[in-house]
Amino acid sequence: MKELLTALLPEIILAGAACLLFLFGIKASRTLRQAAPVVALLALAASVLCVIYGPQPNPVIAESTGTVRLTDFALYIKLLSGLIAAILLLLQWPTDKEVTGNRSLSLGVDLPEYFALFLLSIAGIFLVAGANDIILLFLGIELAAIPTYVMVSISRPLPVAQEAGLKYFFLGAMAAAILLFGLAYLFGTTGTLSLNEMAGEFHSTGGVVTLTTWQLLAAVMIFLGIAFKLAAFPLHFYAGDVYTGAATPLTAMLSFVPKIAGIAALVKILYVLGGGQWLVPHNLVTLLWIMAILTMTIGNVLGLMQANIKRVMACSSIAHSGYMLAGLAVLAGAGESLYRTEALQGVMFYIAAYGVMNAGLFGVLMMLPAKPDPFAPRVSPGGAGLSPAVPPATTAETFEDIAGLGRDRPAMGLAMTACCFSLIGLPLTVGFFGKYYLIRPALEAGWYGLVIVLVLNAAVSAGYYLRIVGAMFLRTSNGQPQPAACEVPAGECLKTVPLVLAVIISALGSLILGSYLPATSALSDAARRATTVDVPSTASAMAPTDRP
């Protein structure tokens, strides 16, 4: 029991801090609202320190904890999600006078509860990373997702946000039911809840595991349930409406948190279905291959058709899920263990790169004000005359909002450019190495068709990312007056420091991790260590194995 509590200490810290924040919401005073983000950030810092300085993977702890496994894979996912969550928290930091939100986020007195839900969602990722039991795995996946349904609905006082939250909830419930059915069938055909023991039930014949019809059905349902979390084909259609309706900092969270939880869960499922050696049946590999191609293609093609930048980023999120699914397809279908290790390393590197460069783009959008909508109802501010209304708690979301702002605010324009170039995968950015580490094992394994589709899709994605950069530097504002860059008084602009810090970290991270090779190598080495998704038992700890 002591070892189990030690292994779960990061999750306990996050859950305990969330409970404290829920208590803050009872009184909802200004002082408690002001303390809420500080408590959340301290909880994240404490959980990350526990991951770094806590117990490390070894067979004794693996056997004593049972349902939880401390592996290099789990530690990497926890550390990465904790660090990216800190950046996302800075994007959501309240800056208004009454401490109810910021220019993109309007929470009212629900601010402590919002940050409590945020911590619970991150705790869900931690549970998924360390789960060695299908019940704990399912609970972790849903704990990462369910808080976001509420967060979307309360993120800003607009009907579009409540509509998005309702859609997200019902579709999420459907996906959860599909996933649960698949896990139930997997349990029914193996007779065990333990992922480690379940992997031992699948035996390879001719180098590939053979599954029964019911097990294949279970695998397909699990893939579909996780596809919703990834916003991957065929359950990708909700992303545009939900990402647009949610507040901008929450959209940044939605594009990362469910994705990393889904990727971690899918890696564990593929490990189990491959008998603990990634020997996944060919028909499931083909299914992953098809899902990857359709996901990245649909996402990029739809991205070219959007006028709202948040809808563009929803399509971008779909496309990047396709890239990661391509890496998982190579992981499951590559014949040699070296290729499998490199493929999983590529996926782990890419999810880190995506988290860094994606957050910066949304941060820049938050720093750019929305321009008045000439077609919106006209209001009279203080009797000074009628002017077009700007919806509450909104910042830049359309191409018209950012037109010409790159020249007026060059620092923001350069930060946006760095993030967009990285998302394309241009050299000297972390996105370039992310795609390189995905493509290399596919080429070595002979998956030329998948590589061609991936490279073509990366080229297509340049169309809408460069459109964002072009709007900031090449377009004009059509004679509209430029709103002020900071709505708070000059003496209170220090409140925006967390947002500025998040953008700086993301933009510089996108460049440094792609141009400073020691930093790139350090992240690559960490991703390679994360390819160990299980810890051998004490009986086999000294035995040779080719498990990555």
pLDDT at 509 over 60: yes
Cα–Cα dist 376/403, whole Å = 19
Least confident of 60-64, 496-500, 502-506: 60-64
Q: What is the pLDDT of residues 220-232, one digit of tens each?
A: 999 999 999 999 9
DSSP letter assigned to residue 25: H
The two three-digit tokens of residue 187, written as one number? 């349990």
Q: What is the pLDDT of residues 358-417, one digit of tens each?
A: 999 999 999 888 776 555 555 444 444 444 444 555 688 888 888 888 888 899 999 999
Q: What is the pLDDT of residues 164-206, one digit of tens each?
A: 999 999 999 999 999 999 999 999 998 889 888 888 888 777 6
- Residue 159 burial class via C-beta count within 10 angstroms: exposed 0-12, middle 13-18, buried 19 and up: exposed
As a whole number, mean pLDDT of residues 526-545 equals 63
pLDDT at 90 over 90: yes
pLDDT band at 5 (very low <50, low <70, confident <90, very high): confident
Q: Specify the pTM.
A: 0.90
Return the pLDDT at 496: 80
As a whole number, mean pLDDT of residues 56-66 equals 60
* Phi and psi, residue 220, nearest 5°: -65, -45
pLDDT band at 57 (very low <50, low <70, confident <90, very high): confident
On whether the CB atoms of residues 128 and 19 are closer than 8 A, the answer is no
User: In b/e form, how buried is each residue of 322-336, taking b as 16+ CB within 10 angstroms?
Assistant: bbbbbbbbbbbbbee
Residue 444: what residue type? E
CA dihedral sign, ordered 356, 358, 364, 369: negative
As a whole number, mean pLDDT of residues 49-57 equals 86
The two three-digit tokens of residue 518, written as one number? 């020691």
Return the pLDDT at 55: 79
The secondary structure of 200-267 as a DSSP string is HH--EETTEE---HHHHHHHHHHHHHHHHHHT-TTS-TTHHHHHHHS-HHHHHHHTTHHHHHHHHHHH
